[in-house]
Chains A and B, each alone.
Chain A
């Protein structure tokens, strides 16, 4: 009997609870410097001059002038390492200051004199493309756009029995990881620059550093420390380049750790979105036509925004087959801190529209919210919303059936409690980086003299538990116990580039690579390497493999103050074969609570281009008292090409929470207009006592 499918305890648990695990901030070395950024006080301004004061001993300042290439490699390469001619968001780095103490580095950073000429700002993405909007870039504020058309939705809407239309404004969300962005670097004994950081992609960091400094790739070693959460917010440069620049020029160990303020104000974010959608149903509940338009606010730079836009559009119809689909999207620049990847990667913004339509249509057409979803549920072989087809296993219909058997559904259908709102929603989330992005995983396995194995990959366990799940896969593939496997993850040394730990891909892509390498070991080798390529989507589709979720929420609303009390949240997850049910529950519960915050209390609000939220005191993520009681069940519809039949699911639980909550709230407050998140409590209150009159 193997360990796959068991709730094997996490291999990192003991080190974490005993404090033995080394996070980036735990590293220190004699002679180290602290790096602090000189940040722009303006959201949009021309830089007229940068003057560095005379530097004391052990004090250093570096700017764009010191770099070989002043940009951060990404999709569009539009983001400088240091602003040199123009700043495009409040807090944008202009220089890095380094000194032997943190206080000294702050003082030094403050002493750098930058003369700015402030420009008009784009503070509202809805006006970013106006003719008179200040331009962030010469080409204007349209970063990129996306259009796709299948069938003839405009004509079909006319023939539909029911056409629903709604717009939503979705907020900027922060990842809320416990460990802020952090990097530590030094020159190793062999003269190479060593970068240890809180990251999702050590090869990516190495490339960023080498590109900026003009180094060849072999002269930098990049490793992930123990990472205290990431959720997409550490997929790309945060602190890494700044530490590395200072180490490179000073040959000294350097620590660069963001404060929580820096994290909340200027760390990457989930894109704010304006969603306009329309859905047409036949009288028997078939979704005939859908048109969706999304505008995403990418802030000052593209970062991963173009991919987020594409994925958001691709997921906008949800897990439903629709013959006629029109999708349009825009990614616009504003003078806000850049948005980039965040768990769900554009899907949660659009899901609120289609899932709310499903629930509304069910009510109007006399179907249950599960029936209407069953009628439209995608199945393997179905055409996708942009053409191509769903090629891999899909357990969505099974998840809907399983939901029907829950005590939650029984209560909701047959004996709903008075004063309690019930809401159901479903979601799907792709796994894999998508077409046109190299998506392979390299693994090496080394047999040790004691008969145990070291399994190496550059993918990273950021806290999601992949080190444990992957070791379970390795143990079963090699036919040894879980204790015989040691995972070595997140380093540029020893294995090839496996890309970013993102897109719910690790278990699938790395699990497969492990299986391939293990076969060689079983064939008698002591060292084996293997590479697995994520299967590419056919046709126009970007992604080809998905996880599915059906979620129900039970809540009450206090009409006196408009607060929402979440009681229960039940999830049914389909991710193919489950490698570790305990870790799966952890992913579901974490994703749900994160999304409860998205729906009810979290939002970065900009005023005059500056984030009003500055820390966890005012950026209000849910506490344990705000979270509902959580329950997760699984349906296992195995994936033929997955390791032991698994598909990836880490992001899936963030997709459908908001529409489930919004639906339940609407059932209790039918007059409330809920068109933006987080839900405005004012909308939900009883307003009776002379509230609007003026008083003298």
Chain B
């Protein structure tokens, strides 16, 4: 086997190539290339960079559509995330560092399969819709009609280029309910169903914090300890609730 790079120009071609070769999609490469840093890539890689349909960010009616190949820099600079989608805007502003934000894409963040993927936490809270063609993520849709306000916070070991020790997004929905999502505190990014329910039904903060403790499943790893994660989550919740308060 050797390294074979495919450069499809349409979504259809990309999906077909993936099915035929079993290759990996390449978006910004900030995960893929790091994963292959020790050993050269040996196999099929399907670059998405030549597919215009995957790019761009814009409204269709009340729905904000973000192409999977849109970079974090493009998202932040679009100015379209400033209002109620603030959670995703904040991720786009602070994740990684400038180089990573220039290359890294929203689709790649989802495709990276990481419980510490910052954008995924924001998307879960925002009740985003992820559109796929086969196993190719094509775009992400956020709805003005659903979200009233949102906020995101992350804790890393330093202020940039830091894997999240914990991250959290909170959205206040137009129907008055809340959606809370947490990253890096369970095997996957977690939609905190109980916490969200407590908040949505007008429960106190203490009740919400307790629900949160019952839902997260933090472990000690190289980035942080279980006890730290248990301590930081309610603090983040408190901060983010203040930010999204009506």
Contact = CB atoms under 8 A, between A and B. Distances in A.
Contacts of B157: 601, 620
Contact count band on B: 20 to 34
Give the most central of B40, B159, B210: most A CB within 10 Å.
Answer: B159
A626 B228 CA distance: 21
B155 A625 contact: no
Contact of A601 (B158, B210, B222, B238): B158
B228 A693 contact: no
A691 B155 contact: no
Contacts, number: 80
Contacts of A693: 213
A695 B225 CA distance: 17
Contacts of A623: 97, 158-161
Residue among B40, B205, B213 with the highest chain A CB neighbour number at 10 A:
B213
B210 to A, nearest CB: 5
B159 A626 contact: yes
A527 interface: no
Given A561-B232, A682-B227, A689 B159 contact: no
Interface size class of A (residues with CB under 8 A): 20 to 34
A303 B161 CA distance: 34
A687 B231 contact: yes
Interface string A527-564: 00000000000000000000000000000000111110
A689 B236 contact: no
B239 interface: yes
A688 B232 CA distance: 10
Give the interface SS of chain A, mostly helix, strand, loop or mixed.
Answer: loop
Given A560-B235, A623-B97, A691 B158 contact: no
Nearest to A261: B38
A626 to B, nearest CB: 5
B5 interface: no
Q: Is the interface of B mostly helix, strand, loop or mixed?
A: helix
B158 A626 contact: yes
B111 interface: no
A690 interface: yes
Interface in A647-696: 681-682, 685-693, 695-696
A596 to B, nearest CB: 10
A682 B235 contact: no
Given A618-B222, A622-B158, A625-B159, A690 B209 contact: yes
Contacts of B205: 689
User: Which among B40, B155, B157 has the greatest number of chain A C-beta atoms within 10 A?
Assistant: B157
A686 B159 contact: no
Contacts of B228: 562, 681-682, 685
B206 interface: yes
Interface string B148-165: 000000010111111100
B161 A563 contact: no
Contacts of B163: 617-618
A150 interface: no
Interface string B215-243: 00000001101011011101110110000
Contacts of A559: 235
A612 interface: yes
B78 interface: no
A685 B159 contact: no
Q: Which 8 A-B pairs have the closest CB atoms?
A: A689-B234, A689-B209, A625-B159, A560-B235, A695-B214, A623-B160, A561-B155, A620-B157
24 contacts: A103-B40, A560-B235, A560-B239, A561-B232, A561-B236, A563-B155, A601-B157, A613-B222, A617-B161, A617-B163, A620-B157, A623-B97, A623-B161, A626-B159, A626-B160, A681-B228, A682-B227, A682-B228, A685-B235, A689-B210, A690-B206, A691-B230, A693-B213, A695-B214
Interface of B: 34, 40, 97, 155, 157-163, 205-206, 209-210, 212-214, 222-223, 225, 227-228, 230-232, 234-236, 238-239
Given A560-B239, A693-B213, 11 more contacts: A560-B236, A561-B235, A561-B236, A601-B157, A623-B160, A688-B235, A689-B205, A689-B235, A690-B209, A691-B231, A692-B230
